[in-house]
């Protein structure tokens, strides 16, 4: 419990900043939850979290039920973070909340989809797109939950959780990781990994992210036949050379040993770190995964397909822009595509100044995100809309756009 005095709790000198929210959140009578536990449940009930079960971790839209999805990855990160914080004396509730929200803004089709949307954002808006920032954008502006009066409001998470989400990018290295001491405006961050997290718990989530995916990606690749027995034997020999001692490449055992090493090597004065022995193993496994999994030739065709899906949806919607009555134009021009039209116009009406004061929209009390008289805001709305899609939904929309549909009876002679 060497970190117990550093845990983010009510006795910490930066507690008030850590639990500050963008807007004051309503209080429930006799609520048993801490501020970070409330954040965890708000994230758990969000629609962005639910969609993670159909979002790619590494392998696109896999029909194999036992291959890791983005939701399972998030749960693995939460589990590893909880175990590490419990062992080290840090705040487990804060770590679990950060872990649950850290990938809510991930694009469909995994990191390849993220690269495609980053290209689109740069070409059309001269802006960056990175999933850590997009995760913060979703929890800050694009997700709502009903309050006790039924009004849909933004999540309004605590600063420590929001900070942990946008700063979770970073790999396990031999270098020491310390939290920063000052609070910054998170909306002003311009790139991934720009600053360290604000809390020790955020640092733990950053490391747990790598611990959680490294062995599991190899396990899934073997399950899907991307790596063979000879490569697996080479990996086992590599792991044994590191002193791991296992006769098999067991992901659970690998994660456990790496977590033990991190706990042993870390302390407030030395920071969060792993030993040089395990650092060498992590580097070797990452390079193996890059060469034999992430760059595997069997994934290239699907990457090209994912690129086509995302760019086709963006091009169709971007080409319809007008500054006046854009909702009416979309409903008229995109009538042959009811799935896309219904969901995209609903998105615009929910988050823009065009929102009407009738029907279901009367319940919304969230912040406005888009001014649809500005073409930049409309293009950003498309990017946000696509980034929130699951793999399957994006494919359904693409199929709708590329299927010719007859609107009238054929002419008769």
125 domain residue, yes or no: no
Domain boundary among 279, 295, 311: 295
- The pLDDT of residue 171 is 59
- Answer yes or no: do 270 and 320 share one domain: no
Last residue of a domain, one of 243, 265, 295: 295
| Sign of torsion over alpha carbons 345, 346, 347, 351 | positive
Tell me the residue range of the domain where 202 lies.
4-22+35-104+143-295
Q: Are residues 49 and 190 in the same domain?
A: yes
Distance CA 163, CA 183 (A): 9
87 with 49, same domain?
yes
Percent of the chain with pLDDT over 90: 67
- Is position 30 within any domain? no
Residue 28 lies in a domain: no
Burial class of residue 266, CB neighbours in 10 A (0-12, 13-18, 19+): buried
User: b vs e for 72-95, b when ≥16 Cβ sit within 10 Å of the residue's Cβ?
Assistant: bbbbbbbebbbbbbebbebbbbbb
Are 269 and 314 contained in the same domain? Answer: no
Q: Where are the beta strands (DSSP E) in 14-89?
A: none
Are 265 and 338 within one domain?
A: no
Report the pLDDT value the prediction gives residue 19, as an integer from 0 to 100.
98
264 in any annotated domain = yes
CATH code of the domain covering residue 205: 1.10.3210.10
Q: Over 60: is that where the pLDDT of 413 sits?
A: no
| 178-187 pLDDT, tens digit each | 999 999 999 9
Judge whether 131 lies within some domain.
Answer: no
215 and 291 housed in the same domain = yes
111 lies in a domain? Answer: no
Q: Look at the chain and report how many structural domains it folds into.
A: 2
Same domain, 257 and 330: no
Reply yes or no on whether the pLDDT at 406 is more than 60.
no
**pLDDT tens track for 130-164:** 999 999 999 999 999 999 999 999 999 999 999 99
| pLDDT, the chain, mean | 90
Domain assignment present for 61: yes
Residue 307 CB neighbour total at 10 angstroms: 16
Check whether 20 has a pLDDT greater than 60: yes
pTM reported for the whole predicted model: 0.93
Under a CB-based contact definition with an 8 Å cutoff, are residues 259 and 210 in contact?
Answer: no
* Rounded average pLDDT over 362-373: 94
Q: Is the pLDDT of residue 111 over 80?
A: yes
Q: Residue 250: what pLDDT?
A: 66
Q: Are residues 253 and 333 in the same domain?
A: no
Residues 241 and 279 occupy one common structural domain: yes
- Say if 74 falls within a structural domain: yes
- 192 lies in the same domain as 337: no
| Contacts of the segment 142-149: beta carbons below 8 A, 24+ positions apart | 142/48, 142/351, 142/369, 142/384, 142/388, 143/46, 143/47, 143/48, 143/104, 144/364, 144/366, 145/42, 145/45, 145/46, 146/363, 147/26, 147/365, 148/26, 148/28
Summarize the confidence of residues 245-256 as an average pLDDT: 68
Q: Tell me the pLDDT band of 352, cut-offs 50, 70 and 90.
A: very high
Q: What is the mean pLDDT of residues 352-379?
A: 92
The β-bridge partners of 69 are: 56
Domain boundary among 295, 313, 331: 295
Alpha helices in 138-199 (DSSP H): 159-166
Residues 380 and 290 in one domain: no
Question: Torsions phi, psi of 340, nearest 5?
Answer: -65, -45
pLDDT in tens, 272-316: 999 988 888 888 888 888 888 888 888 899 899 999 999 999 999
- For position 244, what pLDDT does the model report? 59
Q: Are 209 and 102 in contact (CB under 8 A)?
A: yes
**In the predicted model, what is the mean pLDDT of residues 95-107?**
97
Q: Which residue would you say has higher pLDDT here, 68 or 371?
A: 371
Question: Are residues 283 and 323 part of one domain?
Answer: no
């Amino acid at each position: 419990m060497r970190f117990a005095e550093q845990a983010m709790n009510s006795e910490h000198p930066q507690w008030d900043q850590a639990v500050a929210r963008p807007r004051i959140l309503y209080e429930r009578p006799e609520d048993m939850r801490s501020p970070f536990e409330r954040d965890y449940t708000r994230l758990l009930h969000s629609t962005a979290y639910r969609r993670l079960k159909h979002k790619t971790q590494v392998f696109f839209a896999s029909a194999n039920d036992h291959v890791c999805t983005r939701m399972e990855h998030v749960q693995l990160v939460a589990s590893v973070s909880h175990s590490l914080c419990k062992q080290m004396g840090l705040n487990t509730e804060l770590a679990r909340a950060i872990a649950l929200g850290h990938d809510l803004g991930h694009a469909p089709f995994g990191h390849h989809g993220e690269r495609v949307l980053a290209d689109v954002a740069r070409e059309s808006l001269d802006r960056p797109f990175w999933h850590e920032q997009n995760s913060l954008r979703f929890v800050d502006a694009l997700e709502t939950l009903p309050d006790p009066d039924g009004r849909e409001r933004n999540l309004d998470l605590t600063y420590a959780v929001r900070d942990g989400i946008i700063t979770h990018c970073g790999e396990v290295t031999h270098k020491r990781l310390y939290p920063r001491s000052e609070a910054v405006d998170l909306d002003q961050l311009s790139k991934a990994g720009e600053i360290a997290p604000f809390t020790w718990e955020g640092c733990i989530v950053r490391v747990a992210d790598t611990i959680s995916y490294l062995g599991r990606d190899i396990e899934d690749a073997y399950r899907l036949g991307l790596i063979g027995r000879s490569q697996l034997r080479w990996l086992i020999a590599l792991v044994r050379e590191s002193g791991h001692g296992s006769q098999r490449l067991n992901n659970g055992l690998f994660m456990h040993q790496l977590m033990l090493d991190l706990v042993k090597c870390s302390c407030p004065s030395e920071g969060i770190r792993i030993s040089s022995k395990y650092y060498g193993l992590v580097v070797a496994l990452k390079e193996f995964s890059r060469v034999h999994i992430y760059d595997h030739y069997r994934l290239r065709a699907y990457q090209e397909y994912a690129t086509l899906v995302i760019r086709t949806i963006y091009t169709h919607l971007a080409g319809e822009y007008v500054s006046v009555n854009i909702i009416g134009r979309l409903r008229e021009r995109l009538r042959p595509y009811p799935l896309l039209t219904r969901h995209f116009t609903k998105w615009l009406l929910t988050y823009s100044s065009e929102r009407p004061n009738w029907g279901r929209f009367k319940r919304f009390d969230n912040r406005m995100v888009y001014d649809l008289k500005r073409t930049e805001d409309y293009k950003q709305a498309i990017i946000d809309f696509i980034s929130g899609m699951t793999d399957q939904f994006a494919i359904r929309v693409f199929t709708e756009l590329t299927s010719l549909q007859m609107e009238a009876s054929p002419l008769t002679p």
